[in-house]
Amino acid sequence: MQTKIAIIGDRGSVMGFKAVGFDVFEAENNSSIAELVTDLAKSEYGIIFVTEELIASNPDVVEKYKDYMLPAIIPVPSRNGSLNIGMDNIHKNVERAVGADIFNN
């Protein structure tokens, strides 16, 4: 079975992903994406990329799925650049797994 992959974000940030086979869902930076992510999870999407700007305005979406194997909600920079949300999440997860902040020692 092939994993379904989606990306959610503003048009300028996500349309290029259509060329590599992602299912693209447009959402503006101030919109709520909770219902869309829930629908995608129910439709068996394994990976859902979301622009960092949308995650910043919808932190509950990532929180809801953080302890589930699927779907993996992955923050990606938008065309406006990175907000470092993805890297911050990696640091938190490594610290939770290892028990110490190994990046800033």
With respect to residue 47, please indicate whether it lies within any of the assigned structural domains.
yes
Q: Is 63 within a domain?
A: yes
Q: State which residues form the domain around 92.
A: 4-98
Q: What is the pLDDT of residue 85?
A: 63
Mean pLDDT, all residues of the chain? 82
- Residue 57 domain-assigned (yes or no): yes
The answer to the question of residue 60 being in a domain is yes
CATH code assigned at 88:
3.40.50.10580
Half-sphere exposure of 13 (CA within 13 A, CB side): 23
Residue 22 pLDDT > 60: yes
pLDDT tens-digit series, residues 24-63: 999 987 778 899 999 999 999 999 999 988 988 888 888 8
Q: Per the domain annotation, does 105 fall within a domain? A: no
Residue 104 falls inside a structural domain: no
Q: Considering the domain boundaries, does residue 42 fall inside one?
A: yes
Is 72 within the bounds of a domain? yes
Q: Give how many domains the chain has, as a whole number.
A: 1
Say if CB 22 and CB 47 are below 8 A apart.
Answer: no
Which of 7-11, 28-32, 68-72 is predicted least confidently? 28-32
Q: Which residues have C-beta within 8 Å of that of residue 36, sequence separation ≥ 6?
A: 8, 25, 27
**71 pLDDT higher than 60:** yes
Q: How long, in residues, is the chain?
A: 105
